[in-house]
Every structure is written in C-alpha cells, then in structure tokens.
Amino acid sequence: MNPVSELIKNLADQHGRNRHNLLPILQGVVEQEKYLSEFSMIEIARELDLPASEVFGTATFYSFLEYKKMGKYIIRICKTITCSMKGKNQILMAIEDMLKIHVGETTPDGNFSLLQTNCLGFCHKAPAMLVNNEVYTDLTPEKVREILSSYLKKQKEEMV
C-alpha cells in the first residue's frame, strides 16, 4: 500500500469516517506530510466516502491546501472578522517580526511556515491561531512571542 494511503487509512481508523472527522484527518495528513497533495485529497475522499470536491472545499477553507512543502511548524492565524477586530494584525506583525518571514513564507531553516486561515471556531477567545494542530487563543503580541520562543527553544534542544 502507498504510504500516504496507509497514513490516511490509519487516520480514518483513529478518528472515524464521518464527515465531521474530515478536519482532524486533513490535519493529520498535513502534520505528517507537511502538505496536502491532490492524491491525498482523493484518497481521503475515497476513505470517507465523500465527494472529492467537499474535501477540496474544506481544505481550501482552512488553508490546508499547500502544494509546496511546509515548515515543521505551520502557524495559521485566523483572519476572520472577530479575530481581525480583536487585534489579529498586531499578532501577525509580532510573528513576522520574530521569524523574519511574511504570510505564505517559510523560514530558511524549514522550521516555520506562516499562513492565514478562516475562522477556527474560537471567536469567543479571539484572536486565535493554530500551530500544527495545537490551538492558541486570547493572543496578545507578548503571548505570541512567548509561544514562539517555546517552539524555538524546543527546536534548539532537538538539534543538540
């Protein structure tokens, strides 16, 4: 069996094969593969018995649709209205400043990619972001700097 097909099968076994399990499965594939290929989407659709267009639509909505390899940590900042009104731009600026990349870019060491996404469902705790599939809420520029520092530290420790 193709390793991607096997991964998708395992994720579907783990999360279930209902429509509402689509998101964790997409996240699982992106986490392992660092991007979501057309092949993966078709495999997910087949495994969950969903139309490929639905998988594609969900992936697009959450900006999981990356055709290029992403960094080890993929940061997705919510760009939808509540987060925007609650200071998403300051959060974004703090991240860009710290990692020296802009939205859509990956750090030269391949550790971090920065993206924007639609509402993550945490509007009551806006602004919110995902780092891989970890959710961070009630963000402030200080809080986001602390979060990134902990990832940078983890990264350094792994290199030793």
One character per residue 75-94, x = contact with ligand FES (rule: CB under 6 A): ---x-xxxx-----------
Per-residue CA distances from 6 to 1, 44, 52 (Å)? 6, 11, 18
The size of the chain, in residues, is: 160
The answer to whether residue 128 forms part of the interface with ligand FES (CB under 6 A) is yes
Q: Applying CB under 6 A, what is the total number of residues that bind ligand FES?
A: 12
The answer to whether residue 122 forms part of the interface with ligand FES (CB under 6 A) is yes
User: Please, are residues 89 and 39 in contact by the beta-carbon 8 Å criterion?
Assistant: no
Give residue 15's identity as a one-letter amino acid code.
H
The answer to whether residue 123 forms part of the interface with ligand FES (CB under 6 A) is yes
Instruction: Give the number of other Cβ atoms within 10 Å of residue 68's Cβ.
Output: 9
Interaction with ligand FES in 10-69: which residues (CB under 6 A)? none
* Distance of alpha carbon 131 from alpha carbon 127, whole angstroms: 14
- Binding residues (CB under 6 A) for ligand FES: these are 78, 80-83, 119-123, 126, 128
